[in-house]
Structure 1
Amino acid sequence: MGSNSVEDYSWIDDVGGGSDGEFRWSLDGLGDLPPASGVSIESSYGDVSCLEQIGSRKRARNELCNGPKSKACREKMRRNRLNDRFVELSSVLDPGKPKSDKASILSDTARALVQLRSEAQQLRESNEKLEDTIKDLKAEKNELRDEKMRLKADKEKLEQQLKVRSLPPTGFLPHPAAFHAAAAFHAAAAFHA
């Protein structure tokens, strides 16, 4: 490290040393020491616009990340994606509600899921009842159709019987010779009268 910067310790990600909290805590007290050999911290950085404030307690970080293969950069991208998903989840749950902490977002989500599951179960049960009702109604419809066909056949049978009874009986017609004799008798009676 060419500079005397206490804040520039991003190399620890590559080395894999202790936790950031331990290292930062041990170096916090060294930030007040004057730089060695008269080199100022600001001039050793070149472009300080993309680094965080030196007085900050957070680790100095290049906002562009050193490359997608850097563990810290991948972790930051993962956290950003998670935070974006939490914001989306919060807006889906309650669009008018301001952004809240992750714990309340998760508890609201769990409550909403439980409610949706119970509603889905009620809808399934209602659907099953309706399907049973449909089956019963179809069976009743088939029974009514059969009864209608039976009644229609009975009606046609009764109509045929009625037609047969309303016709004069064909088996009792007198013989034509007897008919002439009766007609002659009626004609003679009418003549004598």
Structure 2
Amino acid sequence: MDVCNLDQASSRKRVRDESCSGPKTKACREKMRRDRLNDRFLELSSILDPGRPPKSDKASILGDAARVLVQLRSEARQLKESNEKLQETIKDLKVEKNELRDEKTRLKADKERLEQQVKAMSVPPAGFMPHPIAFHPAAATVAFAPHGQAPANKAGSVTAFPGVAMWQWMPPAVVDTTQDTKLWPPNA
């Protein structure tokens, strides 16, 4: 027999066993349950107010816990709303980024097209021959000299296009001289 049962039998009174080493009686089990509950309340009190000594009043501990829960829910709601706004902003920025990327691609294509046009305008067409003055700078002085005067270093004829046949760029109907006697009066 154990100690609880011996004391009961001899004095007809139930003696409290403070140790309650095992869950043998209902009173021992209830005492252990209350001790665990008190420990949990102390732990909750120390979590709610970490800087202050733990409270022993269960009602104030529960009130503080309810207040903290309301505060945490409010913060969680605000953070959720802020997160939704940020997600919306991210979505808008992605759309804007894609629009800017498309515009950049379009501008690059326009730039390349304009560069091709400039290049095409600067390259002479096939069969094009630049003005003879570009080939013979000395002819420029002859061409732009006052009429009838030769430059000092040139005593020859005044021709603006020396050695360049102009007929090659004229259409064949204009170059044809077989009908000149019929179409034009004789020159004296």
In the superposition, the TM-score normalised over structure 2's length comes to 0.61
**Whole-angstrom distance in 2 between the partners of 1:155 and 1:113:** 61
* Higher mean displacement: 66-75 or 112-121: 66-75
Structure 1 unaligned residues grouped into runs of 5+: 10-59, 175-181, 186-193
Question: In the alignment, which residue of structure 1 is the partner of 2:37?
Answer: 82
The secondary structure found in structure 2 opposite 1:130 is: helix
Runs of 4+, deviation exceeding 4 Å: none
Partners in 2 of 1:112 and 1:126 — Cα distance? 21
- Equivalence for 1:3: 10
Displacement of 1:173 after TM fit?
Answer: 4.9
- Shift in Å at residue 61 of structure 1? 1.3
Residue matched to 1:144:
100
Is residue 115 of structure 1 aligned with residue 122 of structure 2?
A: no
Helix, strand or coil at the partner of 1:108: helix
Q: Which residue type is aligned with residue 78 of structure 1?
A: R
- Aligned partner of 1:72 in structure 2 is 27
Q: 1-side partners of 2:21 and 2:41: how far apart?
A: 26
- Secondary structure of the corresponding residue to residue 10 of structure 2: coil
Q: Report the CA distance between 1:154 and its aligned residue.
A: 0.5
C-alpha distance after superposition, 1:66-113 (max 9, x if no partner) = 732321111111101100000000000002223320000000000000
How does 1:1-193 map onto structure 2 within 5 Å? 1-4=8-11, 8-9=13-14, 60-65=15-20, 67-100=22-55, 101-173=57-129, 183=163
Output the TM-score relative to the length of structure 1.
Answer: 0.60
Q: More displaced, 160-169 or 135-144?
A: 160-169
Whichever structure has more helix as a proportion of its residues is 1
Larger radius of gyration: 2
Report the Cα distance in structure 2 between the residues aligned to 1:66 and 1:115, rounded to whole angstroms. 42
* Stretch of structure 1 that moved more, 80-89 or 95-104: 95-104
Compute the RMSD of aligned alpha carbons: 2.3
Q: 1: CA distance between counterparts of 2:164 and 2:86?
A: 82
Counterparts of 1:145 and 1:2, CA distance in 2: 94
